[in-house]
Amino acid sequence: MRIGELAVRAGTTPRALRYYEARGLLPARRAGNGHRTYDEGDLKLLRQIRTLRDSGFDLEETRPFVECLRAGHPEGDSCPASLVVYRRKLDELDALIEELGAVRAKVGAQLARAEEARDVLAADAGVPGGPEPVCELGGRRR
């Protein structure tokens, strides 16, 4: 198949395919007329790349999976190098989750503090729901 058909079937663009070819992820086979030609194996490589990219892997992280498929394994994640990338990605995700948990706790504490301060102001003003908002530029909102 030619580059346009492969791009459509893989859900990408010919430009992306040429980029993958330049990066050594997609084989560069040419027909006698100079057109790029691809087969079902190339489509499988692209689907593997797309699945990994959709899961947050950068393009270089897909290389071991592509090489595993090229080596004849039915799945791109059955080789030792692919497993190393999976483990590294999980460690990265765990660190991000931990970082986001800390940020969430901080924002939650700030919200609780702000609500408490609002409630104190409301009680001091004797106004249910809090005092009337004051514009930072000096006047009351209307």
Mean pLDDT confidence for 18-33: 92
pLDDT tens, 56-86?
999 999 999 999 999 999 999 999 999 999 9
In CATH terms, 1-78 corresponds, of 3.90.1150.10, 3.40.47.10, 1.10.1660.10, 1.20.1540.10, to: 1.10.1660.10
pTM of the model: 0.72
**pLDDT confidence bin for 134, thresholds 50/70/90:** low
Mean pLDDT confidence for 124-140: 60
Compute CA distances 110 → 5, 52, 99, 118, whole Å: 54, 37, 17, 12
pLDDT tens, 90-112?
999 999 999 999 999 999 999 99
